[in-house]
A and B are shown apart, each in its own frame.
Chain A
Amino acid sequence: MTATTPTTDLAVQATGVGKVFPTKAGDVAALTEVELEVKAGEFVSLIGPSGCGKSTLLRLIADLDQASSGELTIFGKPARRARIDQDYGIAFQQAGLLPWRTVAANIGLPLELHKVGKAERDARVAELAELVGLTDFVDRYPDQLSGGMQQRVAIARSLAARPKLLLMDEPFGALDEMTREYLQGELTRIAAETGAAVVFVTHSIPEAVFLSDRVVVMSPRPGRITDVIETGLGEVRDEALRESPAYFEKVTAVREALHGTKVERANER
């Protein structure tokens, strides 16, 4: 099962998207008036303080929740259709591996569910294990892996159906700094190799800048997009980039966009 051919060159198009959660204490406006376009193959990060609706937006794109207002299309189709067509792969902060399945069986789960034949599945799993550098661990169980390795399995699994869109909700959030930087490098390589568009939720400014073509800055109460910053850092994302002035400049730009007037006010006092 492979992703169907995109009918537009837009991976995600959101126009006037809003989400209201009805709760006992009244309605919570998690998102209002979100306008967002993600081009095919583009890497976009969503950044903002917690509670600004990053996860909510990602879940709407994934059709795990439904928008209360506005229009949301994935490759030109409704989110629900895109989910059923396996147009996206998704990964969360927790790896969410099934503990009773080996690494190989975890990676192959989406294929198994879509009745991909055993031979084809095995070949694809081997390919993905290679891609995330876990070839020697395919027979292990999740409890025998480190957190970083588990997260790599989760990424391989999200790529199984060859989606043209990857949705990631703070996938490196629970990892130590070393593993995190290593996996960031791996992810940019994988994204480039597969040509998939990525919507990546994070609350780390350096992470957002290092990975992305564009950084979408959000702010809470109500959740909305306040700024979009092009990084213009080009194709190659290596360790040298982390030391470059262009990179620092963008980190500063995102930080200012994120803190807005709050930083100035703190300085005035």
Chain B
Amino acid sequence: MTSGRAQGGAARRWVPVAWGAAGIVAVALLWELYKFVGPSEGVVIGQVEGEAGSGVLILPRTHDRAMPHIWTMIGRLFEPTSGGSTPPLFVSVAQAALLSLGIAAVGWLIGVAVGMLLGLVMQRWKLLEWGLLPWIVVSQIVPLIAFAPVVNAIGNQIDRGGTPWPQWLSVAVIASYLAFFPVAVGVLRGLEAPDRIHLDLMRSYAAGYWPTLLRLRLPASVPHLLPALRLAAANAVLGAVVAEVSIGMRGGIGRMLIQLAGQASSDPAAPWGPMFGSIVLGLIAAGSVALIGLGLKNYRRGEATA
């Protein structure tokens, strides 16, 4: 009985993987299909005769500089990054992605810690929820590109003041700024998830705040917490990549993407390397959080009703 169930579970786990693979194949096929049938210069409407750049492009160009073949992109991964004896592109991409991932992970950890603390505090004192929650929501409206240079400037000041503040730390802080929000909201909702009956029972056991938090509120918050952690991971990666670019930190995948995109007219397949790299980065981040979910799967059981 148990083995049958386990097999069924394993089969079910492969279904999303199969769909994911099918999706990638479908995108690749569409890309090549459009490249094959679409006009080389795209479709432009409202063009004025003899005036270059006029009109609106409604379908993209399909020539090799605009849309390299999938196999050209993949082949490019194994060629030197920037000619000569530089390492193959995929190695550079992997190194850059790893650096960005590390920074995003630090940002995620800071964001999760801050978010949890805010969620706990807001659940404990209703007055703080009133006072804090609106600001937390407003904080996410401030655009990252406006906010990033400020963090960078503060970081540089601290660094000059004697306390070492490497640039990557600024990037991590900016990433955490995007990561903390879903966690704060998720934890707040999660801690308030227990049913009235469970709270009554804890009261009947004369359990105070901490025992109730540990034995009831935190475990009950897990189903709300996991999606929040996943969202925070995606936000941290996005934040790290954007922050790298906007404060000009070297070595990460965001910076690499911008650099190679600048050379796209002469080397059109190159920017696709870091593009794939950032997709893999996102998958790894989401996958790591899924692993946490696996460890907490007992907390995702529901009580069957009769």
Contacts of B200 in A (CB 8 A): 59, 62, 64, 90, 92
Contacts of B303 in A (CB 8 A): 95, 97, 99, 142-143, 150
Nearest A residue to B300, CB-CB: A100
Q: How many residues of A contact B (CB 8 A)?
A: 32
Inter-subunit contact B195/A143 (CB<8 Å): no
Q: By the criterion CB–CB under 8 Å, are A142 and B304 in contact?
A: yes
Which residues does chain B contribute within 8 Å of A95, judged by CB atoms?
303
C-alpha spacing A95/B305, complex, angstroms = 9
Pair B195/A86 contact, Cβ less than 8 Å: no
The reply on B219 being an interface residue by CB < 8 A is yes
Interface size on B, residues (CB 8 A): 24
B150-184 near A? 1/0 per residue, CB < 8 Å: 00000000000000000000000000000000000
A112 vs chain B, min Cβ distance (A): 8
The secondary structure that dominates the A interface is loop
Collect the chain B residues with CB atoms within 8 Å of residue A64's CB.
200, 203-204
Q: Which residues of A contact B280 (CB under 8 A)?
A: none
B206 within 8 A of partner (CB): yes
Interface of B is mostly: helix
> Is B126 interfacial (CB 8 A cutoff)?
no
The smallest beta-carbon distance between A77 and chain B, in angstroms, is 13
Q: Which of A141, A147, A174, A175 contacts B301 (CB 8 A)?
A: A141
Q: Is B302 an interface residue (CB 8 A)?
A: yes
Q: Per-residue CB proximity of B284-306 to A under 8 Å, as 1/0? A: 00000000000000110111111
A88 contacts the other chain (CB 8 A): yes
What separation, in Å, do the CA atoms of A150 and B201 have in the docked complex?
A: 15
Are the CB atoms of A114 and B197 closer together than 8 Å?
no
Q: Is B207 an interface residue (CB 8 A)?
A: yes
B215–A113 touching, CB < 8 Å: yes
Contact flags A77-93 to B (C-beta < 8 A → 1, else 0): 00000011010101010
* CB pair A99 B302 closer than 8 Å: yes
Taken together as a complex, chains A and B put the C-alpha atoms of A68 and B298 apart, in Å, by 42
Does B65 lie at the interface of the complex (its beta carbon under 8 Å from any beta carbon of A)?
A: no
Residues facing B in A175-224 (CB within 8 A) are 175
Nearest-neighbour CB distance to chain A for B274, whole angstroms, equals 42
Q: Is the CB of B305 within 8 A of A86?
A: no
The answer to whether B130 has its CB under 8 Å from any CB of chain A is no
CB pair B206–A109 under 8 Å, yes or no, is: no
Cβ of A109 and Cβ of B195 under 8 Å apart?
Answer: no
CA distance A98 to B298 in the complex (A): 11
Q: Which of B195-221 contact A (CB under 8 A)?
A: 195, 197-198, 200-207, 211, 215-216, 219
Question: B residues within 8 A CB of A150?
Answer: 303-304, 306
Q: Which chain B residue has the least Cβ–Cβ distance from A97?
A: B303
The closest CB in chain A to the CB of B208 belongs to: A113
The answer to whether A86 touches B206, judged by C-beta atoms less than 8 angstroms apart, is yes
Query: With the chains together, A141 CA to B219 CA distance in Å?
Result: 15
Question: Interface digits, A91-123 against B, CB 8 Å rule (1 contact, 0 not)?
Answer: 010111111100000000110111000000000
Chain B residue numbers with a CB within 8 Å of A97 are 303
Residue pair A83, B305 in contact (C-beta under 8 Å): no
- Residues in chain B within 8 A of chain A (CB atoms): 195, 197-198, 200-207, 211, 215-216, 219, 222, 298-299, 301-306
Show 30 residue pairs from A and B whose CB-CB distance is below 8 angstroms, ordered by the A residue.
A62-B200, A62-B204, A64-B200, A64-B203, A83-B204, A83-B206, A90-B200, A90-B201, A92-B200, A95-B303, A96-B195, A96-B198, A96-B201, A97-B303, A98-B198, A98-B216, A100-B222, A112-B215, A113-B211, A114-B205, A141-B298, A142-B301, A143-B304, A144-B304, A145-B304, A146-B306, A147-B304, A147-B305, A150-B306, A175-B306
